[in-house]
Amino acid sequence: MKILIIEDDIATRNILRMGLENHSYIVDVAEDGAKGSYMARTNNYNLIILDNVLPKKQGSTICKDIRNHGNHVPIL
């Protein structure tokens, strides 16, 4: 399973990434909304963990971008 974490807080991002990788998930991370939105629209993920308050682009906008691109991946 491939997961994308879009989170600007480094401690939260690293805890999530390490915990998921310890359970054998493949994890990509993005530290801002612009990068996260691009990664979500150009790669195939089984799950996206999305913060709402991010630099460069808000989580709600990223979610709309992903859905408008025709991607129905689950988003937390």
pLDDT digits (tens, 9 = 90+) for 43-70: 999 999 999 999 999 999 999 999 999 9
Work out the average pLDDT over 2-28: 97
When the pLDDT of each residue in the chain is averaged and rounded to a whole number, the result is 96
Confidence band of 76 (pLDDT split at 50, 70, 90): very high
**Which residue(s) pair with 49 in the sheet?**
5
Q: How far is CA 46 from the centre of its chain?
A: 11
Q: What is the pLDDT of residue 34?
A: 96
Q: What is the pLDDT of residue 36?
A: 96
**Other Cβ atoms closer than 10 A to 16:** 17
**CA angle (11, 43, 19) in 5-degree steps:** 30
CA distances from 8 to 25, 45, 54 (A): 20, 19, 6
CA distances from 50 to 19, 29, 70, 76 (A): 16, 10, 18, 6
